[in-house]
Amino acid sequence: MVYMNPNDTANHDHEGIKTVGADNLCDFSSSSDLCICIVTWNMNGQVCYEDLAEIVGSGSRKFDLLVIGLQEVPQNNILQPLQAALVETDHILLGKSIMQSLQLYVFGPKKCSDFFSKEVLQVDKHSIGGFGGLIGRKKGAVAIRINYKGIRMVFISCHLSAHARRVEDRNSQCRHMSHSLFSKNWNPYARPAHITVWLGDLNYRIQGIDTHPARNLIHQDLHRMLISKDQLLQEAERGHIFNGYCEGTLTFKPTYKYNVGSSKYDTSYKVRVPSWTDRILFKIEDMEKINANLHSYESVDEIISSDHKPVKAHICLKLINNKQ
């Protein structure tokens, strides 16, 4: 099961990543078959239960499914506080894929037996190794394939190599993950996913500008001027990765690197250039079969327990004429 075209680098007709605006409207299932809240957060090895509750419980938007991808998760039991935060929404765990500090969870309504069967849920993972410091910083990807309300979905949460100079390493890792995930039990007759979602700490950086000019633009709320310097969008435009994927407009400030305990950017001796390392991308396999509307794409700036800000997206899907 290939989620990226291995020949993208030779494809002169590539689309790159399509930027889509969020309409900030959601009538929750009255005109949609399925509404999904997607969250990615690099926890930096720190655990703050109040922050987890804030991330999954904040906002007035309702959802059918909640997808949470976490990186650099501490050794504490993260599932328990997540479940506690979702008690009032009546959501339960439908599936999880865990590889040390890289974790992915999917939650759905308690009464979902008519829409979902655990027997058809699949999980997989792909390791690219890597540890750092005193906490696990596992690099790679964890994935869940799920069929809910007749909509086939693949969620891939990843943590790619760090440092601005390692662009091609990240490109290569994306391609290898795409070819590896779910390949062991690949069925050539199986119908493809309606939607594939990549989320995580992709670690692509802002390049071509020094840290202080970049920060000045951010402080003046002119961070949109940094979008053209984003490595992820540049590499996709060149046809190297994520051909045909969509992403919401980067209206929020770069999500890395902050001083832990504050919303101030890195003041260490490295003084890193702020970057949009944390992203959520999605791709519709056949737009004649399903509609996808992005209703929000935002960072959760109130969270200060990590050097990353969490990122959330809200996507609603509707099958067209019930086409499968």
Output the pLDDT for position 136.
61
pTM: 0.92
Output the pLDDT for position 61.
66
Residue count (the chain): 324
Under DSSP, the state recorded for 57 is H
pLDDT in tens, 284-322: 999 899 999 999 999 999 999 999 999 999 999 999 875
* pLDDT over threshold 70, residue 324: no
Contact in structure between 215 and 265 (CB atoms under 8 Å): yes
Assigned token pair, 303: 């969270």
What residue type is assigned to position 218 of the chain? I
Distance CA 72, CA 137 (A): 5
* pLDDT over threshold 60, residue 6: no
Q: Which domains does the chain have, with CATH numbers?
A: 18-125+150-319 (3.60.10.10)
More confident residue, 320 or 225: 225
What contacts 266, CB < 8 A, 6 or more positions away?
257, 258, 259, 272, 274, 307
pLDDT in tens, 124-159: 999 986 554 444 678 999 999 999 999 999 999 999
Side-chain-facing half-sphere of 32: CA atoms under 13 Å = 21
Assigned token pair, 257: 């690197």
